[in-house]
Each structure stands twice: as C-alpha cells, then as structure tokens.
Amino acid sequence: MRKVGIIGAGLTLFRRRMLETPQELAYIAASRALDEAGLELKDIDCVVIGSAPDAFDGIHMKGEYLAKAGGERKMTSRVYVGGATGVMTAISAWYHVASGLCEKVLAIAEEKMSPARPHPQSVFKYIWDPITEKPLNPNLIWIFAMEMHRYMAKYGIKKEDIALVSVKNKRNAMNNPYAQAAANITVDDVLNSEVLVWPVNRLDVSPVSDGAAAMVLATEDIVRRYTDTPVWIEGVGWTLDNTSWPGRELAYPRYLENAARMAYKMAKIERPDKEIDVVEPYDPFDYKELHHLEGLMIAKKGEAPKLLKEGVFDIDGDIPSSPSGGLLGVGNPIAAAGLMKTISIYWQLKGTAGKMQVKKPVHTGVAQAWGDLMQAATVIVMRN
Amino acid sequence: MAWDKSAKSIQVKGEMEVYEYVYTAGKNGEEFFKALKDKKILGGRCEKCGRVFVPPKMFCEYCFGLLKLEEIKGKPIIDSFTVIYYDNDGKKLETPITVGFISFEGVEGGILAYVEGVPEIGKEVEILEYNIPLRVKVK
C-alpha cells in the first residue's frame, strides 16, 4: 500500500437553514480545501462523496447530485455508512490513493438537515423493523435514551457526570469560527434544559445543522512537494456490529472496539491510552463521547466520566477530546460532521488549528464516527 | 416462500411520511427567480473560464470559478421536445401536453417549458410566461 497524506481541508459554516443549496455548500468546502492544498479542480483525479440518508436534503441519488461540486467528468465514488459516513469518506479517499489507483483525491461530505419539515427526525421513522418496532413509532432519541440509561446503570454514572461533556464541547467550540452551538454553559444548564426523552435533555443533544466539509489527499511525493508540514494517514478501521440494535449490549460500543483494533493494528498503536495525543470521538449526544472514548480504549469501561472530571479530556489536558467543539458545539450535518472531526485532527497535527490548537505538542491523533442503526464505526489514525 | 396469492398472511401496513420539504434556491437562484418575475432570464458567467450557465448556480462546475449574474439576451430555442398523451396514473389526457427544453444561444443549460404551436427542434420561441416551467409559443 502507498503512503497517503493530507494537504488541504475546508469547511463551511455549520448553521441551521443555510441559503446555499447542498451543491453550493459542497462547492464552498471543496474549493477551500483545494485552496489550502494549492491545487485546482483540474488537478484532481477522483472525487469521493459522502452523505448520510438522501432524505435529509430531500433529493434522491444525492451522490450524483453532489457530484456537481467537482465530480463531473471525473472518476467519482459515493460512500454511505449512515452517521459513520464522514470518517468513511476520508477512509475511502485514502484507499483510492493507497491502492495506487489515484494520485490526488478530493473527499467531500455534505448534509443539509433543515429542509425536512417539521423536523428531520421524521427521516428516521423509516429505519425501524416494520413488524416489531415501527408499531411503537420510535425515534432515534428514544433508543439513545435507552442506551444512555444502560450505560449509566451498568457503571453507576450520574447525569451530571455526562453533562460535563456538553459543557466542555460547547466551550471548546467558542474557539471554532465554523461553530453553530458554541456557548459557555454549566452542568446545571444542561440538567435544567427541557427533558426530551428521559434521561436525554435538550442540551445533551447536538443541533440540526446544514454544512459541508472537504479534504484533499495525495501520494507521498505530492504531499512532500506541496507542504513542509505533512500529515499522514497511518491507520483506518471500519466495522459493523449486529445490525439489529436489540441484539447488542447497549452499555458498551463493541462496534467501535472492533474498528479501533483494526486501525490501531495498522498504525502500530499498542497502548491507545498512552500513544494517542488528541482525539475527536463522535459526540452527537454527550454520553456518546464517553462511550466512544471507552470503545477507542482510551478509557477503561465505565471510567471515561472519571477521567473527564479530572480534566484529562480538556483542551489543556493529557488527551484533549473534541478540541473542535464536536457535534455538540460545532453542529451535526451528519456526514459533514464526521469529516469535520477528521479535519480537526488534521489541523491539530499540522499546527494550524488556530485558537482551537491544543496546549500540548501532538504527534498522533484519532477521529471517529458512528452510525447506521447504531452499529457502524469508522476510525482514522493520523500522524505528523 | 409463499407464492400463493390466496394464502392468508399477516400484513402490516406502513407509511413513509415527511410532512414537507422546504428547499432553498441559493443566492444566485434567488436572483434568478426575482428576475423571472420581471420577465428577465438571468444567467451566470464564470469569472475564470467565461462559460455562461442558465439557470445560474453559485459556481462553475468545470473550473470552480464563481458565477457573475448577467441578463441573457440570446434567442430562446427549442433544444428538444416531447408530447405527453397519458398522465402519471396512466389516464389518457384529453389534450396532449407538449413539453420542451428551451436553451439560449451561447449558454450552457436551459429551462423546461410548456410549448404552444407546432414545435420543431432548433426553432425560436416567444416566452409567454416567465415561470418554472416557462410557457412558450413557437415563432
């Protein structure tokens, strides 16, 4: 396999109800990524497009629709693994280069969550087993509420311990110029916000967002030609767990442990808790960041809340977690959010994260996303 | 596998509903629709490669240049057309509908239209109604 590096990335603002069309959001992110890379569209061999369900933007065959933003008259691929798509977009772009097939690849992820009315949650009405689950008319927040409750019950975790994630990430987002939900809030603000589905309150959840993210990946010699501060992709992993959610232990994200082991093996990471300097775990809900820090084996099972309280995951801590502000702080245009997390780690390792830059020197970073019926995980390891 | 249509199986009914979608046209798209009301066709010229697109998006799909809006003065022409005899439910229409794709001299793209008169590919049309779709009459 060829060595693959990143030479450019771009984001749009993450906001609710953006005027720009999905194609235009994809274009803005893509052209910013090309600018940072110092390339033009004509230099790109292949475009990889990631988006979660078509139903969010309300346009079927959205991969082809988004191909307008650079993919026409070129080799174009679309990837889809639900909420895990954003990181998978980077992984797919990676294997287009690693395989020897392409030299320079543009990865674009876009999601516009706001067109569906009254609320994009309706889109998730169709993911349930039509015989055994649909009669209850569940929504995703229900199911996450049950997962969160199992996690709390199994390890004796309190709601206020979990709320700290929301406080941290929204605070980190204050330094992120693209962020939609940056705020200085307290644990009490989270606990006193409206209960949506117990134990999930409004401030435990990421917002509805529109946005796009893009990244340029290239072969080793091109990376060395275009930048003095290369960032390499050194490990990737993706797996599915049991595709039926009632068939899994909800308190522990085994889907992620499997994907992380694959990525760590490739990157030769033996002690993730010692070797990873900065991490962007997927955090559409606050408890999910803790869950995922455990699945990534950065914290032991049930112990992430304790380390969080000790400040380990703060921006000036030993292992800063979600220094971008994460989905809770920056926003959650699904596929774009996962690629945004990958870009956050890339900028951290490049040293160009600006006010988001973590205090300690960083060498190894990990980004992760999660989705489908809560069983798909994607992990990417980068080094400078 | 049960193939017998007469076999009584349990049937669970479902529906897939989103109440509605509200789409945005983008910044250039908004200007395009405003201009249509004033009986003008707006296109977008790529600041980098000079290609002109109708309707105008924000950017050029060839080179990623931004598009600058300008009024299209080129003649509207039938690029292609079709005649529809049945509706989407399979019901025969009392009056067949002629739908044409209208392009403009010197631009990429075009607009769909209901066509009156006797259509022919390459013929110029007069725009009777500025809307999506347009209503046009063959000259």
- Which two structure tokens, joined as six digits, stand for B26? 């983008």
A90 lies in the same domain as A155: no
- Reply yes or no on whether the pLDDT at B3 is more than 70: no
Distance from CA of A65 to the nearest CA of B (A): 12
- Reply yes or no on whether the pLDDT at A147 is more than 70: yes
As a whole number of Å, the CA-based R_g of chain B is 21
Please answer whether residues A241 and A259 qualify as being in contact, where contact means their C-beta atoms are separated by less than 8 angstroms.
no
Chain A residues close to B55, C-beta within 8 Å: none
Position A372 scores a pLDDT of: 78
Chain A residue with the nearest C-alpha to that of B63: A41
| CA A197 distance to own-chain centroid | 24
Nearest residue to A54 via CA among B110, B16, B13, B64: B16
Q: Is this complex scored with an ipTM above 0.85?
A: no
CA distance A106 to A263: 22
| Band of pLDDT at residue B6, cut at 50, 70 and 90 | low
Chain B residue with the nearest C-alpha to that of A55: B18
A50 lies in the same domain as A173: no
A91 lies in the same domain as A135: no
A214 lies in the same domain as A202: no
- Reply yes or no on whether the pLDDT at B127 is more than 70: yes
Is this structure's pTM higher than 0.90? yes
Query: Where among A192, A226, A260 does a domain terminate?
Result: A226
Please answer whether residues A11 and A211 qualify as being in contact, where contact means their C-beta atoms are separated by less than 8 angstroms.
yes
| Band of pLDDT at residue A11, cut at 50, 70 and 90 | very high
Tell me: the pLDDT tens digits for A199-217?
Answer: 999 999 999 999 999 999 9
What's the number of domains chain A is made of? 2
Chain A residues close to B20, C-beta within 8 Å: 117
CA distance A280 to A340: 10
A113 lies in the same domain as A131: no
A37 lies in the same domain as A87: yes
- What would the mean pLDDT of A269-284 be, rounded to a whole number? 98
CB contact under 8 A, A34 and B25: no
- Reply yes or no on whether the pLDDT at A279 is more than 90: yes
Flag the least confident range among A53-67, A250-264, A328-342: A53-67
Facing residue for B57 by CB, picked from A24, A40, A70: A24
- Reply yes or no on whether the pLDDT at A103 is more than 80: yes
Chain B residue with the nearest C-alpha to that of A118: B19
| Band of pLDDT at residue A129, cut at 50, 70 and 90 | confident
Largest CA distance in chain B: 66
CB contact under 8 A, B23 and A115: yes
CA distances from B51 to A147, B65, B108, B122 (A): 53, 10, 7, 21
> Can you say whether the dihedral through the CA atoms of A303, A305, A310, A315 is positive or negative?
positive
A138 lies in the same domain as A255: yes
A32 lies in the same domain as A135: no
- What would the mean pLDDT of A78-83 be, rounded to a whole number? 93
Facing residue for B18 by CB, picked from A69, A70, A123: A123
A308 lies in the same domain as A328: yes
| Band of pLDDT at residue A243, cut at 50, 70 and 90 | confident
- What would the mean pLDDT of A80-84 be, rounded to a whole number? 93
- Structural domain of A177: 120-207+231-383
CA distance A272 to A262: 12
Position A120 scores a pLDDT of: 84
- Which two structure tokens, joined as six digits, stand for A157? 């975790």
CB contact under 8 A, B19 and A117: yes
CA distances from A353 to A9, A346, A360, B22 (A): 11, 9, 13, 35
CA distance A191 to A195: 9
- In this structure, what CATH number is given to the domain that contains residue A349? 3.40.47.10
A174 lies in the same domain as A95: no
Largest CA distance in chain A: 58
DSSP 8-state code for residue A373: T
Backbone dihedral angles phi then psi of residue A47, each to the nearest 5 degrees? -115, 130
Distance from CA of B79 to the nearest CA of A (A): 22
Position A374 scores a pLDDT of: 80
Facing residue for A24 by CB, picked from B14, B22, B58: B58
- Which two structure tokens, joined as six digits, stand for A41? 């569209």
A89 lies in the same domain as A216: yes
Tell me: the pLDDT tens digits for B58-117?
Answer: 999 999 999 999 999 999 999 999 999 998 888 899 999 999 999 999 999 999 999 999
CA distance A230 to B125: 57
A100 lies in the same domain as A61: yes
Flag the least confident range among A108-122, A198-212, B33-47, B48-62: A108-122
Position B5 scores a pLDDT of: 64
CB contact under 8 A, A21 and B20: no
CB contact under 8 A, B24 and A19: yes
| CA B32 distance to own-chain centroid | 13
Query: Where among A226, A259, A293 does a domain terminate?
Result: A226
Position A245 scores a pLDDT of: 80
As a whole number of Å, the CA-based R_g of chain A is 19
CA distance A308 to B14: 44
Position A137 scores a pLDDT of: 81
- Reply yes or no on whether the pLDDT at A366 is more than 80: yes
Bridge-partner residues for A364, per DSSP?
A383
Query: Where among A167, A192, A226 does a domain terminate?
Result: A226
Facing residue for A115 by CB, picked from B21, B59, B62: B21
Flag the least confident range among A4-8, A14-18, A173-177: A14-18
